[in-house]
Amino acid sequence: MKSLLPFLKLYRRHIVRLLAGILLAVVTLLASIGLLTLSGWFLAATSLAGVAGIYSFNYMLPAAGVRGAAISRTAARYLERLVSHDTTFRVLQHLRVFTFSKLLPLSPAGIARFREGELLNRLVADVDTLDHLYLRVISPLAGALAVIAVVTVGLSWLDSSLALTLGALMLLTLLVIPPVFYRAGLPVGADLTRLRGEYRSTLTRWLQGQAELSLYGAASQFRRGMDATEQAWLAAQQRQASLTGMSQGLVMLMGGIAVTLLLWLSAAGIGGDPYPGAYIALFVFCALAAFEALAPVGTAFQHLGHVMASASRVSQIIEQRPAVSFPAASAASQSHPTGASITIKDVSFRYGDGPCAIDGLTLEIGAGEHIALLGRTGCGKSTLLQLLTRAWDPQQGTIQLNGQPLANWSEADLRARTCVVTQRVHLFSASLRDNLLLAAPGSHDGHLCDALRQVGLEKLLDNDQGLNAWLGEGGRQLSGGELRRLGLARAILHGGDLMLLDEPTEGLDAETEQQILALLRQVAGGKTLIMVTHRLRGLAYFDRICVMDNGQVIEQGNHQELVSKRGRYWTFLQRFAL
């Protein structure tokens, strides 16, 4: 149950709406009970009119009561659904934002051990499951307690012993059945959550790796494993459905016992009247309706195991401590408004217990200087970029930006100073405007259009939709070069004076690569530029080229200097020429 406490605290923000939903649910239940109870008594009393000396019967008031209860139930049910679902969606939105806000500072260290599919499943499916806590546990339980209290007090005006008998049976049902099925449903809920996560994670890998699986003949074996997981998931769902049926059956059994007992006891008299007549029907139908209102409680705690398992899976992520923490306010100097100088002194870094990715690196980069980091895969180039953005902190040495340690910069100030263009430019399934506004939320349409024209993407505006054009998931209709240009347009809009680029021309043809590099020189004028690459085209235009190997800079200089040295860079050029 402790795993639910962090999420229950979030409910305080929506307490008024939650209470309104519960109140409307109680009104709906009471209106349903009142409708069936009053209808049963009305029909029984009408049938007895003219019998045993009863020659007059006022049917106007009970008829109006039946209509009023029916109208009240309909209106309350509509409002209850409206308020409850609106509240649930608001709570779910809050849960997602809360979870994502806890998840974001963990990237990449805290989430590196999770597969993408598993992480997505926890962020989406497990968070979605948490809304069951209100809809299937809290609201039904609160409604049941209110129904027991109101029915017991209401019937006590006619006969207190019969009212207490019905109330005791309802309370016994509430106290016994939910805990029993909570225990029974706890392992089933854990299995459902685990198997759902495994299946969706496996399905994600299946969709992403179909080409490789087919190429190496492993598609059938992979599919059999996925089918086995699916069958286990379906079996767990069947076990939960069986428990649901058993709990509903027990509630119906308790309802039948209560009706039989009340029918027998009320036949002997109600409220001192040995001839209760139609009041027998009133108690019997009230018991039927009251136990019908208790039906959701039978499965309420059964779903609690599912909710707790999902809460535990989400908590495993959000309760981690970030590997990097930022100060609330930046103590760094802002003495270089149009450039960013970087000092890297004796920096070493390793991932876990692995070998050093960066080993005693020392490098000085002046404001406005354009640097290319060159080297084979795994030499530490991309790791250095991640250290510069404080995705990780080095285990040894210091990195300074404008003469101040990176640890002194607040996250907001550091992000405002830095533009990062990754090898894979991610686009959301949204409009062109929305994807550009991610870099500069306050920009107006004129700035967005100017940025697109500056990177040569004005053709994206040559249609009726303009900035409202829908890009689709990942920007499928855009070429690789257009995706890179869109990434540069974001960098222009962001306006940071330190540009970090990781393989910006990877996978592009020679002509497009030349265009992108020329565009980089244009947009990065006056900015400090660090580009990671293992391609040699266009490096002659950089102020300095740093060749890295085994986490160290083994040679550096401009193109002409390195060629004249006939070192590692010259060797790369010879291979490139071949």
DSSP class of residue 534 equals S
| Most confident listed range (160-164, 429-433, 495-499) | 160-164
Residue 233 and residue 199 in contact, taking contact as beta carbons nearer than 8 Å = yes
- Report domain extents, the chain: 2-318, 342-577
Tokens of 347: 């920096």
- pLDDT score, position 380: 86
- pLDDT score, position 1: 62
Q: Mean pLDDT lowest for which of 229-243, 256-270, 331-345, 368-382?
A: 331-345
- pLDDT score, position 473: 66
- pLDDT score, position 164: 92
pLDDT at residue 50 is higher than 70: no
Those residues whose C-beta lies under 8 Å from the C-beta of residue 501, and which sit 6 or more positions away, are 420, 421, 520, 529, 530, 531, 532
Q: Detail the DSSP E strand segments found in 435-512.
A: 498-502
- Mean pLDDT, the chain, rounded, equals 83
335 pLDDT tier (thresholds 50, 70, 90): very low
pLDDT at residue 75 is higher than 90: yes
CA gap 152, 358 in Å, rounded: 74
- pLDDT score, position 332: 53
How confident is the model over 564-569, as a mean pLDDT? Answer: 86
474 pLDDT tier (thresholds 50, 70, 90): low
Lookup result for tokens 């210091």? 398
| Most confident listed range (6-15, 26-35, 444-453) | 26-35
For 46, 51, 380, 500, 505, the CA distances from 556, given in Å and listed in that order, are 103, 112, 15, 18, 22
200 pLDDT tier (thresholds 50, 70, 90): confident
User: Which long-range contacts (C-beta less than 8 Å, at least 24 apart) are formed by 69-77?
Assistant: 69/31, 69/34, 69/35, 69/38, 70/31, 70/35, 72/27, 72/31, 73/28, 73/31, 73/32, 73/35, 76/24, 76/27, 76/28, 76/31, 77/28
Tokens of 501: 């680029």
pLDDT at residue 206 is higher than 50: yes
pLDDT at residue 338 is higher than 90: no
- pLDDT score, position 207: 81
pLDDT tens, position by position, 274-302: 777 788 888 888 888 888 888 887 777 76
**Residues 2-318, CATH architecture:** Up-down Bundle (1.20)
pLDDT tens, position by position, 81-127: 899 888 888 888 888 888 888 777 777 776 766 766 677 777 777 77
Q: Mean pLDDT lowest for which of 104-118, 208-222, 267-281, 550-564?
A: 104-118
- pLDDT score, position 71: 92
Those residues whose C-beta lies under 8 Å from the C-beta of residue 343, and which sit 6 or more positions away, are 363, 364, 365, 398, 399, 400, 403
CA gap 400, 405 in Å, rounded: 4
DSSP class of residue 273 equals B
Q: 168 — phi, psi (to 5°)?
A: -65, -40
C-alpha count within 13 angstroms, C-beta hemisphere, residue 552: 7
278 or 564, which is more confident? 564
Which CATH superfamily is 342-577 part of? P-loop containing nucleotide triphosphate hydrolases (3.40.50.300)
**342-350 and 356-365 as β-strands: parallel, antiparallel, unpaired?**
antiparallel
Residue 288 and residue 255 in contact, taking contact as beta carbons nearer than 8 Å = yes
- pLDDT score, position 336: 44
- Is pTM beyond 0.85? Reply is no
Q: Which helix (H) or strand (E) holds 83?
A: helix 60-103
pLDDT tens, position by position, 365-399: 988 889 999 888 888 888 898 889 888 888 899 99
Q: Mean pLDDT lowest for which of 66-75, 128-137, 201-210, 323-332?
A: 323-332
CA gap 440, 262 in Å, rounded: 70
Nearest to 13 by CA among 70, 98, 108, 129: 98
